């Protein structure tokens, strides 16, 4: 019987195109290129519309993977799910989290569930489909495909679903308007929120946290009581479809990693994350936190006014990453954390989902 | 015998010029205008050179105080120490912390030391004096005057010294250069760091944390092993001299408030603040935290690279406030905190001083 | 018979609250405070949602006018139309353009038409009225009132209509949503565009450039072929209603000033402005240019891509002011120009209206 | 006898990594990859320290050139002088200006001088060498090497010298400080100015506009009366040495292009550029303008205050590019112009050099 062994490497970088740390891992024999199935990167751009560091990192990865795998850069980009999230505001440190998976034949390990991973991609979207039902449905379908690939039968065993989704540039807006298809918004920065929101609701449908009927065009970015507790979506200029990474646990996996998740009730809910870490009873080292951050839409945190949504100099997602990055780093004790901005329909309004990946038997 | 009773009010505002909350306190009889000795405000500007929200708030306070006290706005500004610190990045919430002091005749209260306050002002500085020994000396002198006014005999009883200090605009730089007096820097943003640094070292000298001999022009912004553990300096465009507020404790004070302080070792040292709060054994309500934040000059937090000093879109002080604001809010449980950016010679390199003001007998 | 004499003073300032230049004019006897009817200021904020320099300047003016006129600051703000436009990007220089009007009895001057001015204000708007027909109608009505006050019978004699209009803060958005009245947008920055757009279309209706029927909610920010060639609208946080200033010419006015206008076809159409100035045949000194600037919504200037609409670090209105400010300054030869950002329905798409005020008989 | 034929292609792009326009030129047979000697790109980053679009574009070019030339990306970067200048503020449009050179044997063409090009590179600099004499000298030497390669005997025939030079990141600053070698500044943004200034003075020495004796460490960024009228320097994070491109004219060249230059006296001196274009008497099409822009260090343009140097939200170089880009585009009639920010010692203080490249016999 075939079962999987997943490994997770958190690798620092000196810039969006710096893969020297990854190359060193390969040279040391610890990382095998052909095993890489997904990369979640934090790059030092603004995380908004004109963040080219995401594309730069993706291009660098594709070129390097292509040379190592003997394929074209485009093919490398199809084989490996590359999700780059821009924005390392405040203390956050640019890095890549690299996931490998190896299929092992033989009797499945006994014992508790272990980390597994699956990936999938949707078709390309037309500009007018972003932020609407078409994106919800395609995402839900991709989530189920990725779960199947990961060998996860029950949605309860899914702890984090990362989606990389497109945004609208002014060129795309204009093209869509010229075609007579009005996009959900003409504002490029706002299009990121719509794309994330529809993707997150797609995850919620895929994981059966919400019924498909509950998710109409009208609720997207309107009814924030609807959300997935495990979705994380990042929008970027570098793709036209959704990429989905499902992280969960399955019995019989041979990984020496585990994953757990919680919800931050608001942007300063460090206590939830302390409880998540304290609640993990096995001897283990925290590899990384994966989290979403947002400026609460009601303009308040614990009843007090914040200024993030009125700031025309710094985008609200940048503020949110900086603040939540501080909160999480003070709990985790390190700063190379995956904190992504814009948590529309991802966790409760004003808060967000957080997952923790642990390496077992390594309590350092 | 005359002894003082200090009260502290933390008042939210809807904008830099909004004093409606303060007026409501006056209307309710809880706040007496003539008792106000100092105001420490957080306003929603960028906290950098072109932050006019600080001046706007100061002007609004001066006009209102003048009308209430029957004096000119200028005179009001001399009577009350107004320190406005710009920047409410991330979750931070704009607010004013208002300090009142009333002198009471009669037997001094027995019991432990209680909160006292003193203020002082230096002379105006020439542009070429900023960031240099002249500013150090004048600040040290003002600290001792404010201590005397506060009735604090030992520097050990000082827990926080807030300084408001000038910066160099491009106009001031040019004027100084034309006069043949080269300013310490021609970069306006960097002048804020020099002014804060010299002011902080002045506090260190005033509190005898450092000897005067140890502080030369050459160490300012160079040797960050020299610092005051209790200094907090904010630079602003709205004044040409230093304003000093000394917060400490004295026996015989009638205040129902206390103050304590600690040092954050780095920007994510939430544990130090948790210990500060946990270490306060009397039943009390936390009124506010007063803290400084900075991007560590070595470009690292706990060994990992940060990007704050290389960011030409967002000033490093803004990043630092956002991150440290998140850390402190997650500990304090509220977001209307006084977190000021740029901690040069204020607390250890990369970290900063934190003071906590408590209202006794009010454990809410 | 009563006729008016209008004067126009362009006064530099060292900051949003600096009225020293204005005070010097009063001290010299050239400016009489009681004659001031309108002020159009350029302040050095970001011109966007969180630009508090506009309010700061308005407050400073109100306090100063109040002291001089012997009324309350609020009353001063009602008597004088204060329009502050934030943003002096690039070479633009902060300044105030002060309009005075004196009514003179006696025979009307013969000769050509001369500069006249009229002002009016609308009622306060509910958040959900902004960017919609209610704002259009109220603005059109105010334009006609201001024309009547100015003594302009034919809309052909109107050369510039300045409108100051509100924006939506996140607090206002939330309040409106809570009331069940969905605002035209929940994005605070975008609300500025809607408010300007509806106001401009209101001017177009008021000046009969468009019929009222042509202006529905659906065309606002959608059909940019509809515009006023003479409207200039600036949104700001500091008011809840529209202020309207009509500038035009009338026979019988005693002013030694004239005004003319043109349209820039796009953001680099300096030739139109050169033609406007060259076409003014009387000996005269250019007092100021009043202009609107925008990033063309199709993402192109003369067929080539611009990046203003995709920039999440600098708002598009800031880019547009900087570029158009350069174009106009190279033609006018000075930089204290009134260039305001966001020209939705103000002049042709991608371009904008420009008015020139001349002082006759003063060819310096 | 061997003589050169230089061609110049201005190619639009849809992003920093988009070479589709260049590839189309190759596919059409108009551009031969092996002939490419230099590329001057305008990319849409912030043009400041953390502008990764420059490196992204360079990497994309290197990968593409490597595949076409059959060499490694590193070798491609050595063969072709790649100068990427970030920042397309305002109306500026991202594009590449591609220079090819072909050596032709046979009798040299008679007639007037024609466009020639030469390139050279300096050694790598240590961080503490930037902005100091070492950089001046190495640049001057490279200018002479590039002149020789271009076949230009007299410096009078040089019309533009483009230098790409390094900057200091916070990591480099720290490393240098740790080595006991104090860099010229610890401020990363200011290091760009120092690197540009020393490079420009190196050009001035190389072209004998200044004697070597006149250029000491003390004058760099201090005495702006010293400048090169033909130097253009851009600092970037993507290299550690200087790359030099010399553009000039030589008799006997077979190019159908010419080049001329002028100086803008200040940022709004459009008249100088109008005169440059009007003064070119042959029938020709303007291919591109190459220009430098800066915020005048005295804080004024034509005597009026500008706010660029006090703006902590937008770097001064960004303001300057936006404004000068508007001025130049209004003269040139198109927006894909090479306008680079930071003109320290490049043209007169507050102004800058401008070169125009013309294609002969193509008056479109």
CB contact under 8 A, D169 and B310: yes
Q: Which residue of A has its CA nearest to C167?
A: A310
D15-36 mean pLDDT: 98
Which regions of D53-176 does DSSP assign to beta strands (E)?
A: 81-86, 95-105, 114-124, 158-166
Spell out which residues of chain B touch residue C167, defining contact as CB-CB under 8 Å: none
pLDDT over 50 at D7, yes or no: yes
Are residues B93 and A301 in contact, defined by beta-carbon separation less than 8 angstroms? yes
Spell out which residues of chain B touch residue C53, defining contact as CB-CB under 8 Å: 52, 56
* Residue of A44, A90, A334 with shortest CB distance to B304: A334
- Alpha-helical regions (H) of chain A: 20-27, 53-69, 73-79, 133-150, 170-178, 188-206, 270-278, 316-332
Which H, E and C letters describe A195-209, residue by residue?
HHHHHHHHHHHHCCC
Are residues A47 and A341 in contact, defined by beta-carbon separation less than 8 angstroms? yes
State the residue for tokens 């103000």.
C346
pLDDT over 50 at C47, yes or no: yes
What is the share, in percent, of chain B residues with pLDDT greater than 70? 99
CB contact under 8 A, B237 and C15: yes
Model pLDDT for residues D285-317, shown as the tens digit of each residue = 999 999 999 999 999 999 999 999 999 999 999
B98-118 mean pLDDT: 91
Model pLDDT for residues C267-315, shown as the tens digit of each residue = 999 999 999 999 998 889 999 999 999 999 999 999 999 999 999 999 9
Spell out which residues of chain B touch residue D238, defining contact as CB-CB under 8 Å: none
A300-323 mean pLDDT: 97
Q: Which residue of B has its CA nearest to C314?
A: B313
Distance from the Cα of residue B344 to its chain's centroid? 13
- Tell me, what's the pLDDT at C281? 82
Q: Which residues from A are below 8 Å from C when comparing CB atoms?
A: 46, 48-51, 169-171, 174, 186-190, 221, 297-299, 305, 307, 309-313, 315
Q: Which residues from B are below 8 Å from C when comparing CB atoms?
A: 14-17, 44-45, 50, 52-53, 55-56, 59-60, 63, 171, 237, 313
Query: What distance in Å separates the CA atoms of residue D360 and residue A59, rounded to the nearest whole number?
Result: 39
Instruction: Tokens for D341, please give them.
Output: 């920010």
- Tell me, what's the pLDDT at A364? 46
Instruction: Tokens for D293, please give them.
Output: 């822009």
Mean pLDDT, chain D, rounded, equals 95
Instruction: Tokens for C6, please give them.
Output: 């209008």
C246-257 mean pLDDT: 96
B223 Cβ contact list (under 8 Å, min separation 6): none
Query: What distance in Å separates the CA atoms of residue A232 and residue A338, rounded to the nearest whole number?
Result: 11
The closest of C311, C314, C340, C312 to C325, measured between CA atoms, is C340
**Which of the four pLDDT bands, split at 50, 70 and 90, describes residue A32?**
very high
Q: Which chains have at least 3 CB atom pairs separated by less than 8 Å from chain D?
A: A, B, C
CB contact under 8 A, B52 and C237: no
CA atoms within 13 A on the CB side of D215: 29
**Which of the four pLDDT bands, split at 50, 70 and 90, describes residue B355?**
very high
Are residues D304 and D315 in contact, defined by beta-carbon separation less than 8 angstroms? no
Distances (CA, A) of B211 to B14, B155, D52, D247, D309: 44, 14, 45, 59, 37
Q: By three-state DSSP, how is residue C69 classified? A: helix
- Tell me, what's the pLDDT at C364? 47
Q: Which chains have at least 3 CB atom pairs separated by less than 8 Å from chain B?
A: A, C, D
Model pLDDT for residues C122-172, shown as the tens digit of each residue = 999 999 999 999 999 999 999 999 999 999 999 999 999 999 999 999 899
Which H, E and C letters describe D30-44, residue by residue?
CCCHHHEEEEEEEEC
pLDDT over 60 at D364, yes or no: no
Q: What is the DSSP letter of B20?
A: H
DSSP secondary structure, D222-272, as one string: T-TT--BSSEEEEEETT-SEEEEEEEEEETT---SEEEEEEEESSTT-HHH
State the residue for tokens 């090479």.
D338
CB contact under 8 A, D187 and B188: no
State the residue for tokens 């947008």.
C185
pTM over the 0.90 mark: yes
Query: What distance in Å separates the CA atoms of residue D141 and residue D122, rounded to the nearest whole number?
Result: 8
Distances (CA, A) of C134 to C120, C141, C212: 16, 11, 12
> Which residue, among C56, C65, C236, would best test binding to B if mutated, counting the most B CBs under 10 Å from its CB?
C56
**Which of the four pLDDT bands, split at 50, 70 and 90, describes residue A167?**
very high
- Bridge-based pairing state of the strands B158-166 and B231-236: parallel
**Which of the four pLDDT bands, split at 50, 70 and 90, describes residue B91?**
very high
Distances (CA, A) of B27 to A184, B58, B359: 49, 21, 22
Q: Which residues from A are below 8 Å from D when comparing CB atoms?
A: 14-17, 44-45, 50, 52-53, 55-56, 59-60, 63, 171, 237, 313
The closest of A341, A330, A226 to A295, measured between CA atoms, is A341
The C-alpha angle with vertex A305 and arms to A300 and A311, in degrees rounded to 5, equals: 100
Query: What distance in Å separates the CA atoms of residue B4 and residue B109, rounded to the nearest whole number?
Result: 10
Q: By three-state DSSP, how is residue C359 classified? A: strand
Spell out which residues of chain D touch residue B313, defining contact as CB-CB under 8 Å: 46, 48, 50
Are residues B206 and B140 in contact, defined by beta-carbon separation less than 8 angstroms? yes
Number of other CB atoms surrounding residue C225 within 10 Å? 8
Are residues B262 and B276 in contact, defined by beta-carbon separation less than 8 angstroms? yes
Residue C106 distance to chain B (closest CA, Å): 43
pLDDT over 60 at C320, yes or no: yes
Distance from the Cα of residue B54 to its chain's centroid? 13
Distance from the Cα of residue A251 to its chain's centroid? 24
The C-alpha angle with vertex D128 and arms to D127 and D134, in degrees rounded to 5, equals: 105
Residue C122 distance to chain D (closest CA, Å): 34
CB contact under 8 A, B304 and A12: yes
- Bridge-based pairing state of the strands B81-86 and B114-124: unpaired
Are residues A263 and A351 in contact, defined by beta-carbon separation less than 8 angstroms? yes
Spell out which residues of chain B touch residue C17, defining contact as CB-CB under 8 Å: 52, 55-56, 59
Query: What distance in Å separates the CA atoms of residue D131 and residue D354, rounded to the nearest whole number?
Result: 23
pLDDT over 90 at D281, yes or no: no
Spell out which residues of chain D touch residue C270, defining contact as CB-CB under 8 Å: 270, 330-331
| Radius of gyration, alpha carbons of chain C | 19
End-to-end CA distance of chain C: 33
Query: C138: exposed, middle or buried (C-beta count within 10 Å: 0-12, 13-18, 19+)?
Result: buried
Spell out which residues of chain A touch residue C298, defining contact as CB-CB under 8 Å: 174
DSSP secondary structure, A86-106, as one string: E---TT---EEEEEEEEEEES
The closest of C42, C74, C273, C50 to C162, measured between CA atoms, is C42
- Tell me, what's the pLDDT at B362? 60
- Alpha-helical regions (H) of chain B: 20-27, 53-69, 73-79, 133-150, 170-178, 188-206, 270-278, 316-332
The ipTM, to two decimals, is 0.95
The C-alpha angle with vertex C150 and arms to C147 and C152, in degrees rounded to 5, equals: 60
B253-281 mean pLDDT: 96
Q: What is the DSSP letter of C127?
A: G
* Residue of C93, C307, C310 with shortest CB distance to D305: C93
Q: What is the DSSP letter of C213?
A: G
Query: What distance in Å separates the CA atoms of residue A83 and residue A100, rounded to the nearest whole number?
Result: 14
pLDDT over 60 at B363, yes or no: no
Is C42 part of the annotated catalytic residue set? no
CB contact under 8 A, D304 and C93: yes
DSSP secondary structure, A89-151, as one string: -TT---EEEEEEEEEEESSPP-SS-EEEEEEEEEEEPPGGGTTSHHHHHHHHHHHHHHHHHHT
Q: What is the DSSP letter of A312?
A: S
Looking at the DSSP bridge assignments, the partners of residue D42 are D85, D95
Number of other CB atoms surrounding residue B294 within 10 Å? 29
- Tell me, what's the pLDDT at C106? 84
CB contact under 8 A, C50 and A307: yes
Mind telling me the catalytic residues of D?
A: 164, 234
Q: Which residue of D has its CA nearest to B309?
A: D170
User: What strands, in cross-sheet order, belong to the sheet with D352-360?
Assistant: D257-264, D352-360, D284-293, D338-341
- 3-state SS of chain A: helix, strand, coil percent to 5? 35, 30, 35
Query: What distance in Å separates the CA atoms of residue B63 and residue B75, rounded to the nearest whole number?
Result: 10
Model pLDDT for residues C206-223, shown as the tens digit of each residue = 999 999 999 999 999 999
Residue C45 distance to chain A (closest CA, Å): 10
Number of other CB atoms surrounding residue A180 within 10 Å? 7
Spell out which residues of chain B touch residue A268, defining contact as CB-CB under 8 Å: 91, 326, 329-330, 333, 335
Mean pLDDT, chain A, rounded, equals 95
Are residues B215 and B226 in contact, defined by beta-carbon separation less than 8 angstroms? yes
Q: Which chains have at least 3 CB atom pairs separated by less than 8 Å from chain A?
A: B, C, D
- Tell me, what's the pLDDT at A58? 97
CB contact under 8 A, B268 and A323: no
Model pLDDT for residues C96-125, shown as the tens digit of each residue = 999 999 999 988 788 889 999 999 999 999
**Which of the four pLDDT bands, split at 50, 70 and 90, describes residue A108?**
confident
> How many Cβ contacts (< 8 angstroms) between chains B and C?
43
A242-265 mean pLDDT: 97
**Residue of A42, A141, A164, A292 marked catalytic:** A164
Q: What is the DSSP letter of B5?
A: E
Q: By three-state DSSP, how is residue C86 classified? A: strand
Q: Which residues from C are below 8 Å from D when comparing CB atoms?
A: 12, 14, 44, 46, 88-94, 267-271, 301-302, 304-308, 310, 313-314, 318-320, 322-327, 329-331, 333-336
């Amino acid at each position: 019987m075939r079962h999987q062994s997943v490994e997770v490497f958190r690798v620092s970088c000196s810039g969006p195109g710096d893969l020297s740390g990854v190359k060193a891992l390969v040279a040391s024999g610890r990382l095998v290129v052909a095993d890489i199935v997904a990369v979640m990167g934090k790059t030092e751009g603004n995380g908004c519309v004109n963040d080219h560091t995401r594309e730069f990192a993706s291009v660098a990865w594709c070129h390097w993977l292509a040379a190592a795998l003997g394929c074209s850069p485009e093919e490398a980009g199809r084989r490996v799910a590359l999700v780059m999230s821009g924005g390392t505001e405040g203390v956050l440190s640019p890095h890549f989290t690299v996931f490998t998976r190896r299929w092992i034949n033989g009797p499945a390990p006994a014992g508790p569930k272990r980390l597994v991973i699956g990936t999938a991609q949707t078709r390309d979207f037309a500009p007018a489909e972003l932020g609407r039902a078409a994106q919800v449905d395609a995402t839900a379908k991709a989530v189920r495909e990725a779960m199947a690939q990961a060998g996860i039968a029950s949605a309860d065993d899914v702890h984090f679903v990362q989606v990389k989704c497109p945004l609208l540039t002014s060129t795309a807006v204009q093209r869509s308007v010229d075609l007579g298809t009005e996009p959900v918004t003409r504002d490029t920065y706002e299009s990121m929120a719509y794309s994330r929101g529809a993707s997150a609701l797609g995850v919620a449908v895929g994981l059966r946290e919400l019924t498909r009927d509950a998710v109409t065009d009208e609720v997207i970015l309107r009814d924030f009581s609807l959300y997935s507790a495990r979705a994380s979506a990042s929008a970027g200029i570098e793709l036209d479809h959704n990429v989905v990474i499902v992280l969960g646990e399955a019995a019989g996996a041979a990984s020496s990693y585990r994953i757990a998740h919680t919800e931050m009730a608001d942007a300063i809910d460090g206590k939830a994350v302390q409880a998540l870490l304290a609640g993990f009873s096995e001897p283990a080292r925290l590899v990384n936190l994966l989290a979403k951050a947002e400026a609460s839409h009601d303009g308040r945190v614990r009843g007090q006014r914040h200024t993030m949504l009125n700031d025309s100099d710094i985008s609200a997602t940048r503020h949110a990453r900086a603040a939540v990055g501080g909160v999480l780093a003070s709990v985790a004790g390190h700063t190379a954390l995956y904190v992504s901005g814009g948590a529309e329909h991802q966790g409760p309004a004003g808060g967000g989902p957080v997952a923790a990946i642990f390496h077992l038997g390594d309590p350092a």
